[in-house]
Amino acid sequence: MNYTLIPSLEHITLVKIATTLWNQDDVRALVEKFYFRSLILSERRKEWQIVEDKVIEKIPKLSLPESLKERVLDFIKPIGLEILKWREYHESFLSERRFVRGSLNRLCWTPQGTVDKKKTAEALIKDENLDITKRYKLACIYCLEDDVRELWSLMPQKKEVAFYNEGHPSFSKEHGLAVFWTYDIKGEVAKLNGLIKKIKGKEISPYQFAFEYAAVGGNKAATEYFLQKLTAKEKEESLVRSAGYVANRRCNSASNRTDLPKEHYADVLCFLLSQMNEEQQTEVFKSYPYEVLKCLLDWPWQSFFMKTVSRMWDFLSGKDCNYFLREMVDKVIEGHKDYDYQKLFGKFWQQSPDAHKRYVIDECSSGSLLSKLLKIEDKENVKLILKDATLIEKEKIIFYREGKDICESLIYNNKWDLLKFFIQECILSKEVIIKFKEKFKERIICRRSEEKLEKEKDMWNKAFQLLDDLIHKGNKKRSMEESDSSPAKRLHSIEFKEVAHSMKK
């Protein structure tokens, strides 16, 4: 299977429009001032949302059809995050915050909608205002061979020691690729063999080490460069192994200071997969099914998710499936519109093996999947799940704590149509609705003081009126909007209040 991403003409156009909006002076000024790590998570999300909103404000002013404006909106968040991740990474290893922030207008973009780090580095290297050691480091990291050699020839001798130690080669003080390139230029790369053996625990060639080092650091440009330096045997040894390292590192919280942001690992993984035959790909999928699919939910690789899943069902667990379903819903909740995650959810569920569906349905009685789906009012996918559930499983879902929590949440948020929908999807018989009504009433009464019950009386009366209407579905339904003065409403209120008072005793 080919993992080369070829974007459509529409996608390329939308990327161009979105990047142009992000590059306007007023937006770039906000991005340059933003410092992500200075705030706790909730605060920095709120602060970054201000920057995003500034870009979104510009969309209505575009001379485009309304349908295209909607599509541009979908690209704003992923393009913005690309800019932010690029800035953070380059600030961290260049230690030149002011320079990096001031260079945002030089960012180059791929047609897929990611920062072209290699071309951007080429542009930055030309700026002689940047210290030569920083320019040299950029050239080494992105394997710009001609620039590496030229900048080394211009390097003041007193600054060479940061990258070269004749007696004791080490990767500890500088970026490993900068050290590697320095020894390579000097024709002394063999001096790194001892250090490489110590790190890897075995003897491998320096270029093989550089290839694996680049891959596991999420550096696609360097991975591509060093792959060309490997022998056929070294490729055979390193391709599958490196793909596993990359997929695993994407999901691992631990990282080195020189690693690129986790979301960039999908670029490297898909490049490595594109260099493999199907047998090698299957070996990776078998060993790292969850990790590979995690990468394929990252922008802009989502279109490969289902294509890859079709070759993975035998390697995935029910727990994995439950995770990915929740992850897709979380993407929607967090406002990601870079892909139709609800449609992806439906396809993933429909193709899931029955055993995995059973696991997910069982988890629904104690997990949050249905709650998340109802939060985004996704009735279609709730129906898909419950369609595959047995009557016993459906009743278990609504009678257990999570189901009752869902009902309470819908009531408090005035989601009466969703409440009715959820109950009807889970309960099919009048007798079971009667039983649920009594259990739910007990829960409400036991958890609240009489004062709170009185204060929320109208809300709970409306909820139980809805249940009564479902119980008496075959008869003429009483209106949920009846006034408090109606005989039916007064009777219901008195009934609820009397039961509550007796239970409190």
User: Is the C-alpha dihedral spanning 197, 200, 204, 210 positive or negative?
Assistant: negative
- Ranking 154-158, 216-220, 354-358, 477-481 by mean pLDDT, the lowest is 477-481
Work out the end-to-end distance of the chain between its first and last CA atoms, rounded to an integer number of angstroms: 69
Cβ–Cβ < 8 Å for 213, 176: yes
- Rounded Cα gap, residues 212 and 184, in angstroms: 17
- Mention every residue, 6+ apart, whose C-beta is less than 8 A from residue 196: 203, 204, 206, 209
Tokens of 202: 């075995």
DSSP 109: B
Q: What is the pLDDT of residue 66?
A: 92
- Residue 490's pLDDT band, with cuts at 50, 70 and 90, is very low
- Mention every residue, 6+ apart, whose C-beta is less than 8 A from residue 207: 226, 229, 230, 234
Give me the mean pLDDT over the 146-152 stretch: 96
DSSP 330: H
H-helix segments, 352-415: 354-364, 369-375, 379-387, 391-399, 401-412
> Looking at per-residue confidence, does 100 or 151 come out higher?
151
Q: What is the pLDDT of residue 411?
A: 96
Give me the mean pLDDT over the 62-75 stretch: 94
DSSP codes joined into one string, 54-76: HHHTTGGGSSS-HHHHHHHHHHH
Q: In which element (H, E) is residue 225 found?
A: helix 220-227
% the chain with pLDDT above 70? 90
Quickly count: other Cβ atoms within 10 Å of residue 443's Cβ: 15
Question: Does residue 404 carry a pLDDT above 60?
Answer: yes
Give me the mean pLDDT over the 117-141 stretch: 93
255: alpha, beta or left, given left = phi > 0 and alpha = psi -120 to 50? beta
User: Is the C-alpha dihedral spanning 22, 24, 25, 26 positive or negative?
Assistant: negative
Q: Which burial class, exposed, middle or buried, applies to 278 when counting CB atoms under 10 A from its CB (0-12, 13-18, 19+)? A: exposed
List beta partners, residue 109: 115
> Looking at per-residue confidence, does 196 or 169 come out higher?
196
pLDDT digits (tens, 9 = 90+) for 182-226: 999 999 888 888 888 888 888 889 999 999 999 999 999 999 999
How many degrees, rounded to 5, is the angle at CA 189 between CA 185 and CA 190?
150
DSSP codes joined into one string, 443-505: HHHHTS-HHHHHHTHHHHHHHHHHHHHHHTTTSPPPPTT--TTSHHHHHHHHHHHHHHHHHH-
